[in-house]
Amino acid sequence: MSGAICHVTVRGRVQGVGYRAWVAEQAVSRGLDGWVRNRRDGSVEAVFSGPEDIVAEMIAACRRGPSSARVENVQAGTATSDLLNLRGAGERFTFLPTV
Examine the residue annotation and report whether 40 is marked as an active-site residue of this protein: no
Examine the residue annotation and report whether 38 is marked as an active-site residue of this protein: yes
Residue 78 CA: distances (Å) to CA of 6, 47, 55, 84: 5, 9, 11, 11
Separation between Cα atoms, residue 26 and residue 90, nearest integer Å:
19
Separation between Cα atoms, residue 56 and residue 50, nearest integer Å:
10
Of residues 11, 20, 64, 87, which has the active-site annotation?
20
pLDDT in tens, 10-27: 999 999 999 999 999 999
Q: How much is the pTM?
A: 0.94
Of residues 13, 38, 63, 73, which has the active-site annotation?
38
Separation between Cα atoms, residue 32 and residue 49, nearest integer Å:
6
CATH code matching the domain that covers 3-90, chosen among 3.10.20.30, 3.40.50.300, 3.30.465.10, 3.30.70.100: 3.30.70.100
pLDDT in tens, 84-94: 999 988 899 99
